[in-house]
Every structure is written in C-alpha cells, then in structure tokens.
Amino acid sequence: MSVHRVRVPELAARLVLGPQEVRHLQVMRLRPGDRVQVFDGRGGEALADIAELEDGRAVLTLDLDAGAEDGAGDLGRETPQPVTLAVALLKGDKLADVVRAATELGVARIQLLVTAHADAREIGAQKLVRLRRVAEEAARQSRRRVVPEVQGPLPLARLTWEGRLVVAHPGAEARLPDLLDWAAPLTVLSGPEGGFSETEIAGLLARGAVPVTLGPRILRAETAPLAMLGAVVATGV
C-alpha cells in the first residue's frame, strides 16, 4: 500500500499540523505511529511519523535523512523545464476542472487571464482560494512534490513569459509536439469560450508567440488547455 501524503508548510524536525490536515489524517483513519510522506509544495519531501493525533491537533516527527523513498527520485515527477498554463477566465466552475487536470498533467504554474471575451467578474477572492485548494489536492493525489501556483487574473496584454509561448489558435499550422525541445521553459496559452480577438492574436504574434493547431475540430475552452498539456505529457516527460 502506498504511503499517505500530507502537505505541510515547511520541512522541520517536528511539525504541529493545523485543523484541516488533522481532519484529513483522521478521515484516512491514520493513527499515532503511522508513517506518512510530507511535502511542502516547493519540491521538499520527507517521511514522517505521526507522534500525536487527537481532535484538532497532530504532531509529526520528520525523518529528514530518509528522503521520500517513493521511487520518484529527486523531483522526478516534474517536467524538464517548467510548463506554465496561461488560460483565460472561464464561466462557472470550469476552471476548477482545468486546474485539477492541469496539475495532474504537470504544470508548474497556472496564470489566469482577462481577455476581450473573458470577464474579470468570473473570479473573486473566494474562487481563487478554492482553485488553489484544488491544485493542492490534485498535487497530493498525483504524488507531485510541487503544487502549481495559481496566479490571480492578469490582462492578456500584461502576460510575460520565459522561453517559448505557444497559443492555441484554430486554423494555425504548427503542431505543438513539433515545437517541444525542453531547451527553455514553456508557456501554453488557451482562450475563452468566445476565442481571442483578432487584435489579441496580432498582439501575441508581434510579441513572439507561436500559434498552434489542436486539430481541425473546435474544442471547448475547457478542453483546449488539456489537449495542449496532453500533447506535452505524451512525449513522456
């Protein structure tokens, strides 16, 4: 059976957990003496023993010398270069599904964007907190050491990137798998339900973005980012 994973704020020899993590341990029916794997969301991971577990309080003692010993090796589940998903705000609860799946698919960062056809009113402080929780839970589930940062909405014109930016654009000719070389970080960008405006696409291309096709069918705005990330992970990274 695999070792249970717990997100902790930092790796220290002795850790006192907050109520949310305590509830989680109790739901998993863990007991004092059980061993868990802890991760700090920034790449740090270690094994720990539950020293105390009672209502509202849990204390873990960390075996900092043991390492994670789960077969992943040093940051073995992260892509060779960080992948950022830049995605326009979507209506309703669709972003939660995108954040969950994008985390499983290995992104290092998710940048939310306001575009001509994506309304900033689609997101508030509470929704952002929820999306960050979704990323944390998905990272735990998919046994990643890194929890992707979910960054609050930015106007598309203020999006900056390192390395290459590829934008999903129906009718484009280039294909994402042909562009992957891992010499530099990668950002994949996908539009809102109404697509990008012509001005937005022209602005992105003028700044060096590369448009890519996701095939001859029009994908829903919540499917397109996952198709891009699917093409990335299909290379085996």
- Which positions touch ligand SAM (CB under 6 A)? 168-170, 190-191, 193, 195-196, 213-215, 217-221, 224
* 117 residue type, one letter: H
Residues 106, 85 contacting (CB under 8 angstroms): no
Q: Which is nearer to ligand SAM, 72 or 227 (CB)?
A: 227
- What is each CA distance from 94 to 42, 89, 200, in whole angstroms? 26, 9, 23
Of 70 and 193, CB closest to ligand SAM:
193
Minimum distance between the CB of residue 103 and ligand SAM, rounded to whole angstroms? 20
Listed residue (189, 160, 194) closest to 172, CA to CA: 189
Task: Indicate the DSSP class of residue 156.
Answer: G
Phi, psi of 140 (to 5 degrees): -65, -45
Closest to 154 in 3D by CA, of 229, 89, 228, 82: 89
Distance in Å, CB of 220 to ligand SAM, minimum: 5
Angle at 136 between CA 134 and CA 137, to 5 degrees: 65
Residue with smaller CB distance to ligand SAM, 53 or 156: 156
Q: Least distance from C-beta 221 to ligand SAM, angstroms?
A: 4
CB of 105 to ligand SAM, least distance (A): 16
**CB 193 → ligand SAM: shortest distance, Å?**
6
Exposure b/e, 32-46, CB count within 10 A at least 16 = b: eeeebbbbbbeebbb
In sign, the C-alpha dihedral spanning 110, 87, 158, 118 is negative
Nearer to ligand SAM, 157 or 183 (CB): 157
CA gap 195, 217 in Å, rounded: 14
CB of 165 to ligand SAM, least distance (A): 12
Between residues 57 and 220, which has the closer beta carbon with respect to ligand SAM? Answer: 220
In the complex with ligand SAM, which residue's Cβ is closer, 157 or 218? 218
